[in-house]
Structure 1
Amino acid sequence: MEGDDKFKLAPHPKLPKGKKLMLIILDGWGEQIPDEFNAIHRAQTPIMDYLKTTAPEKWRLLKAHGAAVGLPTEEDMGNSEVGHNALGAGRIFKQGASLVDTSLESGAIYEGDGFKYVKQALPNGTLHLIGLLSDGGVHSRMDQLQMLLKGSAKQGFKRIRVHVLTDGRDVADGSSLKFVQMLEDTLGELRQDGCDAQIASGGGRMRVIMDRYENDWNVVKNGWDAQVLGEAPHRFTSCLEALKKLKEDDPGLNDQYYPPFVIVDESGKPVGPILDGDAVVTFNFRADRMVMLAKALDHEDFDKFDRVRYPKIYYAGMLLYDAELNLPTHYLVSPPQISETSGEYLVHNGIKSWVCSETVKFGHVTFVWNGNRSGQFSDTLEKYVQIPSDQGISFDKNPEMKAIAIAEKAAEAFRSGEWDQVILVQCCFLITKMNHV
């Protein structure tokens, strides 16, 4: 690949050829109002303080939210996916949230091939919508779900079931009750218009469905059992009852960690398992925490857990979640087309890169960094190293995650002299460790 004129880079004006570079990405680090609610402001950060005060002329603040990373408005907070897309590509692309907004507002979403595919479930099939109930704008948005519900009913769906995932991560813990009530109000309007619309199952995002990078398939299995099989440890007659009762039983329970539950009718029968002939849409626009479920729904030869039953359905994602894997096969909105990323440029110029993170962050600096593309550009010029994340341990119990292990691996790679560039992504603990390299 080396030598392609399209990718030829001019010599850097300040960095001489052969100079080694380490790029450390601190996910979640930023500057905001320095008050008692600002964790970074309150934390002891001697290395960052030293870098900022000793070389202020080199200290730069970059926007990582809103239009600066392709989001709809300045009110939209950034996230790992859009940030790493922008860093890896070196330019701004209109992101999923903006594309979905435009498609819903214009009605184009209902004219595309994806929704036409889903409509093959008519006239008798149920439409199932699966995704995060939130207005955080990181993975999904409440207003988009409400528009999709109303639009789908107008398109002819007379039976709709929603499988909710509670947030408490991108929005305040405890806000799930508000969002469920908003959803119930919308579903009530649809019922008045003759559409049988109900919530069918639920659970917290970290316990149900929204794992990523194949860290823990049990999280996806929890969702499959509830949503497809109609089986879960807890059964309630309404979602609001479920959230309130589970919280009463465990007052310290965070919205992220609600256990899976199923909504049942008066006879105790689940109101909405996914069956043959139904349509399914995962309405999250962000890819990383939908890919695993998409594989389970889309791949007949799936073998990560026993699905028990694999219904013949019409499945579409809100967007194409993985362009390299063409996953899912059908989607409602075309994603941003990101090409000519930094990794591709470096490979074409013979630059050797070593990349590392732990499982739950690994795709950020590989898949997302490379423009939502799986795999490496070169097996000889790139090396991707994944440190397995701990399973079943919440981040509040283990906030350092695998920072030390990643730092040690990165130091070893840097000292080896084999690599022109070392890239790693983790939390702020890395800086303290890297000071000793």
Structure 2
Amino acid sequence: MEKKYKPVALIILDGWGLRGNANGNAIVLGDTPNFDRWTRTLERSVLDASGEAVGLPDGQMGNSEVGHLNLGAGRIIYQDFTRINLAIRDGSFFENEVLVTAVNKVKQNAGKLHVIGLFGEGGVHSHSNHMYAIMDLANKKGVEPIVHVITDGRDTPPENGLKYAQTLEAYLAKNPGVAATVCGRYYTMDRDKRWPRTKLGYDLIANHVGSDGRTAVSVSEAL
């Protein structure tokens, strides 16, 4: 007789975490009878979902992308974030063949190196330190970086954009480079194929269509 197997479901609850402190803890304070019953009656284990346990730097918050990559892997999957950090630390970042070739090409053709990226410390899609490393590489090669700032109000608090703009301007005051545009990720990183929204970010960067600001800080304050 053919053996019948019961189905097994892998159910991912994004954002569901376990923490003993009930203060501000919606999961502990909420009415969750099914989850409470499973906790009482079924075998279970608890996994760390942040920091070094999932291939991120110590103390770095986890996120859905990182969690999905590590599920079922049976080992730590070191994230791009961590690998880039290590490359910057040991200096191999500044010898990366693709990056060095690109910067040298710009210099040979007396061109401009446009650096476009999400500024912030969220560590999900980017990190400001990586942007500064690219600018450092350009400056070492004698190429002035033209920076297009995308502010992050999703993986970092919305008001933090001002802090990152101030840090960028302090860097540019000591190093060659210029902040050319500032725009929020709501426009430039829309994932729902809303072209009228994305077009605003595209026109700003490609066609200089937007509101003029004297500094990255003044624009961030306006945003």
TM-score range, shorter chain: 0.7 to 0.9
TM-score, reference length from structure 2:
0.86
Cα distance in 2 for residues equivalent to 1:94 and 1:167: 23
Cα distance in 2 for residues equivalent to 1:104 and 1:30: 32
Which of these residues, 78, 83, 86, is aligned with residue 94 of structure 1? 78
Q: Is the 8 A contact 1:97 1:137 kept in 2?
A: yes
Which of these residues, 119, 132, 137, is aligned with residue 118 of structure 2? 132
Cα distance in 2 for residues equivalent to 1:17 and 1:169: 46
Does structure 1 residue 164 correspond to structure 2 residue 149? yes
Does structure 1 residue 48 correspond to structure 2 residue 32? no
Does structure 1 residue 211 correspond to structure 2 residue 196? no
Structure 1 gaps, min length 5: 1-15, 247-437
Tell me what 1:114 maps to.
98
Which of these residues, 159, 166, 180, is aligned with residue 200 of structure 1? 180
Specify whether residues 96 and 34 from structure 1 end up closer, same or farther in structure 2 by C-alpha distance, changes over 3 A only: same
Tell me what 1:229 maps to.
207
Specify whether residues 245 and 72 from structure 1 end up closer, same or farther in structure 2 by C-alpha distance, changes over 3 A only: closer
1:69-128 CA distance string (max 9 Å, x none): 11132x111111111111153432221011101222222223222113312111421111
SS at 2:181's partner residue? strand
Identity, % of aligned positions:
37
Cα distance in 2 for residues equivalent to 1:42 and 1:163: 43
Cα distance in 1 for residues equivalent to 2:154 and 2:20: 20
Query: Which amino acid in structure 2 is aligned with residue 100 of structure 1?
Result: I
Tell me what 1:69 maps to.
54
1:407-426 CA distance string (max 9 Å, x none): xxxxxxxxxxxxxxxxxxxx
Specify whether residues 186 and 36 from structure 1 end up closer, same or farther in structure 2 by C-alpha distance, changes over 3 A only: same
Query: Which amino acid in structure 1 is aligned with residue 219 of structure 2?
Result: A
Which of these residues, 201, 214, 217, is aligned with residue 240 of structure 1? 217
Q: Aligned pair count?
A: 219
Offset, 1:217: 4.1
Structure 2 gaps, min length 5: none
Structure with greater proportional strand content: 1
Q: Is the 8 A contact 2:120 2:164 kept in 1?
A: yes
CA RMSD of aligned residues (A): 2.2
Specify whether residues 121 and 20 from structure 1 end up closer, same or farther in structure 2 by C-alpha distance, changes over 3 A only: same
TM-score, reference length from structure 1:
0.46
Relative contact order, higher structure (CA 8 A, sep 6+): 1
Cα distance in 1 for residues equivalent to 2:166 and 2:213: 16
Tell me what 2:64 maps to.
80
Offset, 1:133: 1.2
Structure with greater proportional helix content: 2
Specify whether residues 21 and 210 from structure 1 end up closer, same or farther in structure 2 by C-alpha distance, changes over 3 A only: same
The runs of 4+ residues in structure 1 deviating greater than 6 Å are none
Offset, 1:228: 1.4
